[in-house]
Amino acid sequence: MQVQPSPLLARLANVPVIPVLEFGSVDEALHVSEALVAGGLPLLEITLRTPVAMDAMRAVAAKIPGACVGAGTVLTVAQLHAVRDAGAQFAVSPGLTPALAAGAQDAGIPLLPGVATASEAMAALEAGFTFLKFFPAQAAGGVPMLKSLYGPLSQLRFCPTGGIDAALAPSYLALPNVVCVGGSWVVPKDAVAAGDWGRIRKLAEEAVSLRRN
CA 211, CA 198: separation in Å to the nearest integer? 21
CA 185, CA 177: separation in Å to the nearest integer? 22
Identify whether the C-beta of residue 115 lies closer than 8 Å to the C-beta of residue 146: no
How big, in percent rounded to 5, are the helix, strand and coil portions of the chain? 40, 15, 45
Q: Is 45 a catalytic residue?
A: yes
Q: Is 133 a catalytic residue?
A: yes
Q: Which of 22, 28, 34, 45 is catalytic?
A: 45
CA 46, CA 33: separation in Å to the nearest integer? 10
Q: Which of 133, 147, 189, 206 is catalytic?
A: 133
Residue 56, C-beta contacts closer than 8 angstroms, at least 6 positions apart = 23, 25, 26, 29, 46, 50
Q: Give me the residues paired with residue 43 across strands.
A: 68
Q: Largest alpha-carbon pair distance within the chain?
A: 50
Instruction: Name the strands in the sheet holding 114-115, side by side, starting at the edge strand that comes first in the sequence.
Output: 114-115, 131-134, 157-160
Q: Supply the residues annotated as catalytic.
A: 45, 133
